[in-house]
Structures are given as C-alpha cells and as structure tokens.
Amino acid sequence: MPAGAFRPGTTLLHRLSPGTKVVALVVLSVATVAIRDLGAALVALGVAVVLSLLARVRLRALARALRYVLLLAVVAGAVQWWFHGRDKAIETFLDLVTLTLLALVLTTTTSVNAMLDGIVRWAGPFRRLGFSPERLALTFSMAIQALPATFAIAVETRDAARARGLDGRPRAYLTPFVVRVVARAHETGDALQARGIGD
C-alpha cells in the first residue's frame, strides 16, 4: 500500500514539513487535472518523475503502486479515446500516472505519525468549538490501517474460495468477505468503546 511506503532519509523533501508537502501535493494535483493539454500533462509527469528521484522512491514501491493504477489508467484512457480522441486518452493516462507518483512521493518522505501529528496541529483551532483533533487523527489512522487489512481479507477469502473449487461463483467469495469485514468493524468498535473512545 502507498501508505506504507515511508522510507527514512535526509533529502530536501524529507526535511520539508508535512503541511508544506500536503499543500504542494494539492496544488500540483489540481494543476495536473485542471490544465487540459497534452504538453502540460507531459511536463507534469516530468515534474513527478524528478520529485520521485529526489525522494528516492523505491522501484518496488513504485511498481506496486502503479500495478493497481495502470489498469484504471488504461480503461480511463480507452474511454477517453472513444469519446474525445487519442490526445485526450494519452493525457488522461499520463495524468493518472502523475497523480500516483505525486502521492507516492508524499508517503515515501512523510511518516504516518508525522502526518497524524500534522492533522492534530491543523485541527487545533477547532478545539474551542468542542472538536477533538486527536479523534480526527485517530480516524485517519484507523482508515490507513483498514485499507491493507481489508485487502488482506479479500485475498484470504478469494484463496479460500479457490481451495474449495468455488472461484467461479461470486457469492462464494463476496458473502464471506462482507461478513468478515463487518465483523472486523464491529470488533474495532467494541475495542474503542471499551477504552471510552466510542462514547
């Protein structure tokens, strides 16, 4: 998962504050999507590649992240080609790859703990309104942990269905998958309530 791609380092991007990197990610992402031009898409991809090199993104992490995005990018590009032509399709494909690289740069140079500490600081002013920044950070932390856990459950459930010779039946996979995900959510809720967090 991209969220688990953090790699300690001393590069310039590692030394920047999480807030600065998040703002830069938002600005670059909006610019990448908003500017409708193939040349601009190539420039944005070049910027993302340079940032990836500066951040020393590992090839294994890059391949893992792109493996899931490339399929979506190819499908989206094919749809755009059908409706808007070749240039638009290439631009869409490049934009999706660029956004993935930018997100990977952020997660490679910023630890989850640093991001959560940043969330607590950014939400601090809302404490006067009765809002708890710590609970918001906890919510983000749980969401980050839930993504790989849910993916692991999906893989285990699929393998179990295949072992029983039921891989051709969607219900044999989907039903136990949903049951296990819901059960995990209930267990997490009970654990939080037992600690007085879910009140």
In terms of pLDDT, which residue wins out, 114 or 61? 114
In a domain, 77, yes or no: yes
Is residue 57 a contact partner of residue 104, using CB atoms and an 8 Å limit? yes
Structural domain of 42 = 2-110
Query: pLDDT of 93-119, one tens digit each?
Result: 888 888 888 888 888 888 877 877 877
Q: Please, which residues have CB within 8 angstroms of residue 95's CB and are 6 or more apart in sequence?
A: 32, 33, 41, 44
**Are 63 and 99 in the same domain?**
yes
Does residue 123 sit within a domain?
A: no
Residues 65-81 have a mean pLDDT of 74
94-132: b (≥16 Cβ within 10 Å) or e: bbbbbbbbbbbbbbbbbeeeebbebbbeebeeeeeeeee
Q: Give yes or no: residues 150 and 60 share one domain.
A: no
Boundary-marking domain end, from 110, 139, 159: 110
Read off the pTM: 0.65
Cα separation, 136 vs 189, in Å, equals 15
**Per-residue confidence at 192, pLDDT binned at 50, 70, 90?**
low
Total domain count, the chain? 2
